[in-house]
Amino acid sequence: MLMTPHAPLTLTLSPQAGGEGIPALLSRKLRMRTYRSKLAARRMRHDPTEAEQRLWSVLRNKQLQDYKFRRQHPIGSYIADFACLSHRLVVEADGGQHADNVFDEKRTTDLERWGWQVVRFWNSDILGNTEGVFETLLKIIKDRHVSPYMPPMLELIGDNVDDV
């Protein structure tokens, strides 16, 4: 089906919420973005940094006091280094390239708007003070109060549906 660039796009609620469902165009774009994010996350899982390996060695298989984490987990158009879905917590292992990074600031703002808390640790701290990083992480998880509210899925595709 060929769509003209000026075709009107209406956003409606899902049938469960009393609407008519997401338009086919929007649904297709969302599926493509999700597919691309999953492919990118899969590639990133195969080439972790040393700090990511160190974090994952403790976060995997519920080793951190039975909290389940996923590695390189897609959230909207972003990929979190580690995510604890039950507590809506994103853990990032950051190298020097992340200092004063505008993209990281926007990403953090978007994730927080969607109900996620983003915690960043420098790679040097992860490698040099591993126990301190895990103590800090445990404290954050235990203090985290998660709202049962989930933002609408439409927010997860970004502000511009045409940027896919």
Q: What is the dihedral of CA 49, 41, 92, 151, to 10 degrees?
A: 180
pLDDT tens by residue, 36-94: 655 655 565 566 889 999 999 999 999 999 999 999 898 888 889 999 999 999 999 98
Superfamily of domain 21-145, CATH level 4: VSR Endonuclease (3.40.960.10)
Report how far residue 29's alpha carbon sits from residue 162's, in angstroms, rounded to the nearest whole number. Answer: 8
Q: Counting every residue, how long is the chain?
A: 164
Band (pLDDT 50/70/90 cuts) for residue 149 is: low
Starting from the edge strand earliest in sequence, which strands make up the sheet with 89-94, in order? 70-75, 78-84, 89-94, 117-122
CA geometry: angle 117, 105, 58, nearest 5 deg? 45
| Residue ranges of domains in the chain | 21-145
